[in-house]
Structure 1
Amino acid sequence: MDFGTYPTLQLEHAGPALIVTVNRPEALNALAGQVVEDLTQLLLVLSELGREGQWPVRGVILTGAGEKSFVAGADIVEMNTMDAQAATEYGRKMHRVTLALEALPVPVIAAVNGFALGGGCELALACDYIYASSNARFGQPEVNLGLVPGFGGAVRLPRRVSPGMAREMIFSARPIKADEAYRIGLVNAVFDNKAALLEAAQEAVAELATKSPTAVANAKAAMSAMVGLSTVDALEVESTSFHSAFLTEDSVEGRNAFVAKRAAQFPGS
């Protein structure tokens, strides 16, 4: 599968993983308009994963170039030239990026090295897992600029951590270190350095590659669809997802392999 080339992104196909690196280290990988456009176009390509049983990658790892920053946030220099309408459209474009990340049929791991502030934290929040290096810093500093989160932070942060902690992070603009982010449930795991971080992310994707790709995709889609629903309505989504999964060839293979006490060879359909 041809993933394309993009001015601000580096792509590396590493076994079952696609590593996507935001590559603007001179600007701490801030989300300039070109980065947003590149992410948008790449995600259009990735949305085709799994069509007709083809799974060229089983997970996406999103990280930032260099040691200092995952994504420092929105490009404030660029934003400062915008009027309110242009800034709002900038935010809506990032909404489309984050929604597309959530809609991918494969898991996405944010490998956060250094700063994940503002838009960087919001980008990580749209990923399925967040792994962090020990020097990672997370925060929503928008109130320091007289602004509020505009890329989904006020929506997703209270779903990842407690509502009270989300409010404290947004109202105070106080950045938190990796160990505190782990303690409050913002990140899944913390690693000593960037090399260990990326190694762990690749190991996670390798583990996922042993599972049924259709089942993982169905589970991700169902869990996203359940957000905000009542228990009764969410259980109906789960039932529909279970029904669809039961009809797949992966399910037939998985159940037959279990009965035969052998390893499953999932066809991916």
Structure 2
Amino acid sequence: MNRATREETVAGMAESPLLVEREGRVVTLTLDRPHRRNAMSTAMLEQLANQLRQLTEPGKESPGALVVTGAGGTFSSGADTREPDWRDLSRRAVRRGHFRTVFAALHEAPFPVVAAVEGYALGGGLELALACDLVVAGEGALFGLPELGVGAVPGGGAVHSLVRRAGRGVAARMLLIPGERVRADELARLGAVERTVPDGGALTEARALATAVAEGDPALLAAGVRLLRDSGHLDRTAALGVENGYWWQAASAASRGPSAPTDQGSSHPGDRGVSGHGR
């Protein structure tokens, strides 16, 4: 396939805050407001929500993997607090709706999602990165939650993700200490970033990783990412029940045979096979 062509998400616009690039089975979404460190305007959020909705629409061919990144050497500085109507509650509700659509689509996407982070990932930018399945970051990239200082609180799952993946301590530092920023290499040691590379190399590494992942069987990848996303907040018994359900889904997809019996495919903890044995 020829080198992928970059296309704007809204035809006819001279500039778009969100760019789409397709190469093979990998789609890259680029937040493209570098003059504002890719702060998420209402227009950007709306386009991001619409694009993710299209990529995850049932009945259409999905990409093998998705990469989310930012232009100009930074991921995203979060919500655009300089929008003229930033403090208008009705407009904030509109932006909030777009945020929720974005995070719901990422959670339901039937393919792996990789964040490529350079520079800053702050507030909603951090939440967007942590909503991805894998985070690849330049080792000096900085992560933080400045919401309390701008009259807001995190609302996209960042605190939950940080507590679960990196521990309560780092979540408390980011949320409560004014100006606190945590480097990617520290978050990698704690488990919130999967891979670090020299600064400037995150996108190349993320695309290579996404290309390798996308070679897998689509049905198995779908089962795998759902298992990953659904298991983290459950206790062990419930998680093993979920794992059992996805085990049968994956086995059925791999064999292309008839579906497993309903009682075995259930994710309830008391069902047969809940111990997870038999892999």
TM-score for both structures, normalised by structure 2: 0.80
- Which of 23, 27, 34 lines up with 1:25 in the alignment? 34
| Cα displacement (A) at 1:24 | 0.7
Q: Distance in 1 between matches of 2:50 and 2:189?
A: 35
C-alpha contact (below 8 Å) 1:99/1:126 kept by paired residues: no
TM-score for both structures, normalised by structure 1: 0.83
Report the structure, 1 or 2, having the larger helix content.
Answer: 1
**Percent of aligned positions that are identical:** 33
Deviations 1:176-228, CA, capped at 9 Å, x for gaps = 1222222222211111132x222211211222133222111112112323343
Q: Secondary structure at the match of 1:20?
A: strand
Deviations 1:129-152, CA, capped at 9 Å, x for gaps = 111113411000112224321332
Is the alpha carbon distance of 1:107 and 1:120 closer, same or farther for their aligned partners in structure 2, counting shifts above 3 Å? same
What residue in structure 2 maps to residue 44 of structure 1?
53
What residue in structure 1 maps to residue 68 of structure 2?
62
| Cα displacement (A) at 1:126 | 0.4
C-alpha contact (below 8 Å) 1:114/1:135 kept by paired residues: yes
What residue in structure 2 maps to residue 257 of structure 1?
none
Q: Distance in 2 between matches of 1:163 and 1:251?
A: 42
Q: Secondary structure at the match of 2:82?
A: helix
Aligned pairs for 1:109-128 within 5 A: 109-128=114-133
Q: Distance in 2 between matches of 1:213 and 1:79?
A: 43
| Cα displacement (A) at 1:110 | 0.6
| Cα displacement (A) at 1:87 | 2.5
Q: Distance in 2 between matches of 1:118 and 1:243?
A: 38
For the pair 1:198 / 2:198, whether they are aligned, the reply is no
What residue in structure 2 maps to residue 183 of structure 1?
189
Structure 1 gap segments, 5+ residues each = 254-269
Q: Distance in 1 between matches of 2:145 and 2:31?
A: 19
| Cα displacement (A) at 1:156 | 2.2
What residue in structure 2 maps to residue 263 of structure 1?
none
Amino acid at match of 1:83: D
- Which of 212, 219, 234 lines up with 1:214 in the alignment? 219
RMSD: 2.2
Amino acid at match of 2:149: N
**Number of aligned residues:** 245
